[in-house]
Each structure stands twice: as structure tokens, then as C-alpha cells.
Amino acid sequence: MLSKFLKGRVTHMFQAISHGFLLALGLILPLGAQNVFVFNQGANHKHFISTLPVIITAGLCDSVLILLAVLGVSLILISLPMLQLVIFLVGFIFLLYIARSLWREQPADLKSQPPMSAKKQISFTLSVSLLNPHAIIDTIGVIGTSSTLYQGLDKWWFTFATISVSWFWFILLAIIGKVIGHLDKTGKYITLLNKISSLIILIVACIIVKNMIQLIIKI
């Protein structure tokens, strides 16, 4: 009986972890503002340690959003359309500012303009993570809802798996960016990457405008 019980618990634990892992992987892989920014900073800094502010901030932000979603606290956002509108507006303004900064940013090898400071990395990462409506809705609507399939310890295994994927992914993105930045001795391709990153973030900002219009019509 005991062995059967333990076998059942291990099976449930494995199911919760694998579900959380695959779900988080599916949500985090698409190229969004947060991923682009982390990758961009990896490419623009000469030393990996210089990208730790953006990695840690992005990881912590995702961890907080996932925990709030699992605990059900973030459902408040869905029930308050005016709060959503404010978040959309602030997020839109920040994304425009980030896009402008990335457009002008130069890699560390080019001395005309230094790469982002740790303080700027943190503030920008906070904005693309916490003021990104799509990231918030994905976390609430997908991870939060999926977590209701589990109870007790299994729910926390599910939560641990989703959070772990975020941290590993951000570290990997920064490393890949660093490798590409190291291969680009002239800084030509990284400068081009900065321009592309800026345009991607502008597209995300335009999508936010569309969501704002839809929300205003509903209100």
C-alpha cells in the first residue's frame, strides 16, 4: 500500500512538473519585448556579469507574476478595466522610450556611446516585464488557470517548474547574445540588431494601442 501511494505521488509530481515546464516553454519562447531586451543586453555588453541586472530583474518579475497568478491575486486585474487601461497606457509610453534607447544604443566595443548602466537595465526590464499587458494576460489566463488543475504540493511543483524555465531561458538568452556580440568584432551586426530590437518593441507598442482601443470601446 505504501509503495503504491508513493508511486502515485511521484507520478502526480512528475505530471505537474512536466506540465509546468512545457507550458512555460511555450509561453516564453515567442519573441516578445522582454526576450528581445534580455538578448540585446547580452549582445551589447562585453562581460556576462554586466548582464546580471537584466537577468535577475526579468527572472524576479516573472517569478512574482507567476506566484500572483497561481495564488489568484492577479485575477483582480481582469475585473478592473480602468486599471488595465492605466497599465496599457503606462506600458505603451515606456515601450516607446525603450525603443528609442535601443535604436541609439551602441555595443561596448564602440566608444561613441556606452552600453546601458545597471540602473537603466533594471528600470527598463521592470517596464517590459510588469507593464507588458500581453505578459500579464498570458500569466493570468494560462498559467493561473492551468495551476487550478493541481492541489497542495503538486501545485507548488507546477509553480516551481514554470519559474525555473523563465530563469534558465533568460540566462540562455543573455549567453547567446554575448556569444554573438563577441563574434561581431566591428559592432556592425549588433548595431543592426539594436535597430531590429527597437522595431520589434515598437510593434508590441502598436499592439498595445490596439488593445487600448478595444478596451475603451468595451468600457
The three cell numbers of residue 77 are 486585474
How far apart (Å, rounded) are the C-alpha atoms in residues 27 and 110? 35
Eight-class DSSP state of 139: I
How far apart (Å, rounded) are the C-alpha atoms in residues 18 and 115? 38
Average pLDDT over residues 213-219: 79
Average pLDDT over residues 4-30: 77
Amino acid at 102: L
**If pLDDT is split at 50, 70 and 90, which confidence band does 58 have?**
very high
**C-alpha of 79 from chain center:** 23
**If pLDDT is split at 50, 70 and 90, which confidence band does 110 have?**
very low
CB atoms inside a 10 Å sphere around CB 104: 12
**What's the number of domains the chain is made of?**
1
Q: What domain range includes position 126?
A: 2-218
Q: Find out whether 174 and 90 touch, Cβ atoms under 8 Å.
A: no
pLDDT at res. 149: 79
Angle at 142 between CA 140 and CA 99, to 5 degrees: 65
The three cell numbers of residue 83 are 486599471
Taking only Cα atoms into account, the Rg of the chain, rounded to an integer number of angstroms, comes to 19
pLDDT at res. 141: 67
Q: Find out whether 158 and 16 touch, Cβ atoms under 8 Å.
A: yes
| Better-predicted residue by pLDDT, 14 or 164 | 164
How far apart (Å, rounded) are the C-alpha atoms in residues 203 and 206? 5
pLDDT at res. 174: 93
pLDDT at res. 187: 65
Which residue shows C-alpha cell 562581460? Answer: 47
Proportion of the chain above pLDDT 90, given as a percent: 16
- The pTM assigned to this predicted structure is 0.74
Average pLDDT over residues 94-112: 68
Average pLDDT over residues 16-35: 81
**If pLDDT is split at 50, 70 and 90, which confidence band does 112 have?**
very low
pLDDT at res. 169: 93
Angle at 118 between CA 100 and CA 25, to 5 degrees: 80
Q: Find out whether 151 and 74 touch, Cβ atoms under 8 Å.
A: no
Average pLDDT over residues 52-63: 94
pLDDT at 43 over 90: no
Q: Find out whether 44 and 190 touch, Cβ atoms under 8 Å.
A: yes
Proportion of the chain above pLDDT 70, given as a percent: 81
3-state percent helix, strand, coil for the chain, nearest multiple of 5: 85, 0, 15
pLDDT digits (tens, 9 = 90+) for 172-209: 999 988 888 777 666 677 677 778 877 877 887 787 78
Amino acid at 51: T
